[in-house]
Structure 1
Amino acid sequence: MPRVCEYYFAPQSPWSYFGHARLVALARQYDVTLELKPISLPHVFSVSGGLPLAQRPPQRQAYRLIELRRWSEKLNLPLNPQPRFAPVSGDAAARLIIAARFAHGTDAALALTGAIMHAFWAADRNIMDADTLTALANEAGHDGKALLKASETASVEAEYQRFTDEAIAANVFGAPWYVVDGEPFWGQDRLDFVEAAFART
């Protein structure tokens, strides 16, 4: 029976960006199926005590910038810690990712996820903008206009809501969040533990 990892994330989360490529590589290495579940982080925060960045105390905001720079250097991933379009809603990008999974499968959706995260965190592109999302889908080899239209359907919205409700029911309180064999792992800095879970027979 194939191993499964539930992957809850928000496309506008820098920590999701830092962990994304490594998680995908680990899943391929250990033949683990990723269940891609983009979520509405504000909704999760609203029931779990989390605060949007702008509402956090200045001490926490300042330290976050230090950690972002540290992880960017450690992982050798480009990142602008203060993107031009922040704060940004991840809703439209999340729906586009779900539409890509419906139309083209999980691997395509994972690739588009990585492209969207890189666009926001490394290339200063506005992932709330319809034209930008269309262009990113085109660059990933899809029909961007068709995929954007599909992302606005009721079925995609229902799936997005379902993933968010599942996250809340599973006691998720941040992103990224990984679940392997019922065991939760919060944050890309827990990927060593995720790998150990993948390696278990």
Structure 2
Amino acid sequence: MPSTLDYFFAPHSPWTYLGHARLVAMAEAAGATVRLKPMDLNQVFPVSGGLPLAQRAPQRQAYRLVELARFAKHLQLPLNLQPRFFPVKPDDAARLILAVEADQGTAQALAFTGRVMAAVWAEERDIADAAVRADLLAAQGLPAALLDAAQAPEVQQRYQAFTQEAIELQVFGAPTYVVDGEMFWGQDRLDFVERALAR
């Protein structure tokens, strides 16, 4: 029986960006069902011991840049270590991803998620800007009306519900993958995710 993979992520997370394409390919190869669950890290961090980047110790911030560069080179993915629009407010982009999924299905939403993250980390674009989000929709051939759909109360309710679910599952960072109830934190755990999907 194919696995189910819950994908807890934040659309401005560089680590989610680095793992996204591999995750999508793994899930497709395994025939797994992916359930997209964007979450608000500003709510997750305070209850899990996490800190926003600017509040972390200098040595942690410095090593983060080393690791980002290391993984980007290894994976051959374009990545600006300190992009112009970061930190960036991700909530509108997260809600838009959910609106895309509701209207177009999970495959389109996964592809759009990749576009959003590449906009931040490869293209230095501001995903908090509605015009940028409209351009990203257009580039994928998606209707501009989804910008308005993303503001609907039910979309915010889903976003909040996924955030609360993450907190209850003791998720503490992005990305977190849950395969048939087993949790894996970080794109550097994708080898283990692949094995779990193959079981």
TM-score scaled by length of structure 1? 0.98
Partner of 1:49: 49
Q: Distance in 2 between matches of 1:122 and 1:88?
A: 14
Partner of 1:138: 138
Report how far residue 199 of structure 1 moved: 0.7
Q: Distance in 1 between matches of 2:154 and 2:135?
A: 23
Q: Distance in 2 between matches of 1:137 and 1:60?
A: 35
SS at match of 1:158: helix
1:122 correspondence with 2:106 = no
Partner of 1:176: 175
Q: Distance in 2 between matches of 1:8 and 1:82?
A: 24
SS at match of 1:174: coil
Instruction: Report the identity percentage.
Output: 59
Mapping for residues 4-23 of structure 1, pairs under 5 Å: 4-23=4-23
Partner of 1:108: 108
Partner of 2:72: 72
Return 5+ residue gaps in structure 2 as ranges.
none
On the 8 A contact 2:2/2:30 being kept in 1, the answer is no
- The number of aligned residues is 199
List, as ranges, runs of 4+ consecutive aligned residues in structure 1 with deviation greater than 6 Å. none
Partner of 1:28: 28
Q: Distance in 2 between matches of 1:174 and 1:90?
A: 15
SS at match of 2:163: helix
Report how far residue 136 of structure 1 moved: 0.4
Partner of 2:154: 155
Q: Distance in 1 between matches of 2:128 and 2:38?
A: 15
Q: Which amino acid in structure 1 is aligned with residue 103 of structure 2?
A: A
Q: Distance in 2 between matches of 1:140 and 1:89?
A: 22
Q: Provide Cα deviations, 1:77-119, integer angstroms capped at 9, x if missing partner.
A: 0000101011111101100000000110100100000000001
